[in-house]
Amino acid sequence: MRIGIVQTKPEFGAVDENIERALALIGEARSDLWILPELFATGYQFRSRAEAWSYAEPVPDGPTTKRLIDAARDLDSFICAGLPEIDNENVYNSSVLVGPDGLVARYRKLHLFFHEKELFSPGNLPLPVADIGMARVGMMICFDHFFPEAARTLAVAGAQVIAHPANLVMPLYAQLTMRVRALENGVFTATANRVGDEARTETTLHFTGESQIVSPSGEILVSLSPTEERAAVVEIDPALASDKSLNPLNDRLADRRPSFYKALD
């Protein structure tokens, strides 16, 4: 199986242009699953809840999800990407997984980062794992990386690949934690981050790039630059993520002692 990450530099608010630019970065490259950044079409730094609402779209009937489904059909692949989702009175920082036949899964970010708490409603759906034939794919978004429970939940639910759209602004924390998330859970992780700056409020945000794909043994299979837009593809064997053993006597999931983790409930 081939999985690919697309590292983009969206221009805030230029939705159509940002979508087409991301697809142009894929170009003629072949992958079975593509991961694009969080809020990849809109940009990140909304000035207000009202502004986030004005860009939010229903899933799957909004234009961004529809365009992604068309692209998945053209590319004969699956695509995971982040967007602001409107549902009744709420706007979520969401991601979709789409394929040639339409929407496969959606996720609403559970752990909102900093000012996102003033812009979005917190996620209200389970962390999803979808079987796309070649692999079982789980989704989490950006700051979820700081909560090991998110990746663990996906691994226990059977994910072999964790698709991780991101807009990272802290100094390479996720590039570190996602190696650990991959290793401790025995899964592939694919973090698609963005690059560039946004200065739409008094705070200038710098997005760190260095998107990466990590193997179940914590090896970085590909790591992109801190500044450049680019797509990259690696070949993986998802079956490697079904074997959780570290040695003949230790298994990363079976050796857990949940009865001693009650404080987590």
Is there binding between residue 168 and ligand ACM (CB under 6 A)?
Answer: yes
Residue nearer to ligand ACM on the CB measure, 137 or 169: 169
Residue nearer to ligand ACM on the CB measure, 34 or 120: 120
**Shortest separation between residue 82's beta carbon and ligand ACM, angstroms:** 9
- Exactly one of 7, 31, 153, 167 binds ligand ACM (CB under 6 A); that residue is 167
How many residues line the site for ligand ACM (CB under 6 A)? 7
Cα 43 vs. chain centroid, distance in angstroms? 15
142 is catalytic: yes
Q: Please give the full DSSP string across 43-90, using - where no structure is assigned.
A: -S--SSHHHHHHH-B-TTTSHHHHHHHHHHHHHTSEEEEEEEEEETTE
Q: Rounded to 10 degrees, what is the CA torsion of 35, 162, 117, 147?
A: -150
CA atoms within 13 A on the CB side of 239: 1
Is there binding between residue 113 and ligand ACM (CB under 6 A)?
Answer: yes
CA atoms within 13 A on the CB side of 165: 28
Is there binding between residue 192 and ligand ACM (CB under 6 A)?
Answer: no
Is there binding between residue 143 and ligand ACM (CB under 6 A)?
Answer: yes
Is there binding between residue 140 and ligand ACM (CB under 6 A)?
Answer: no
Using CB under 6 A, list all residues that contact ligand ACM.
38, 113, 142-143, 167-169
Catalytic residues: 38, 109, 142
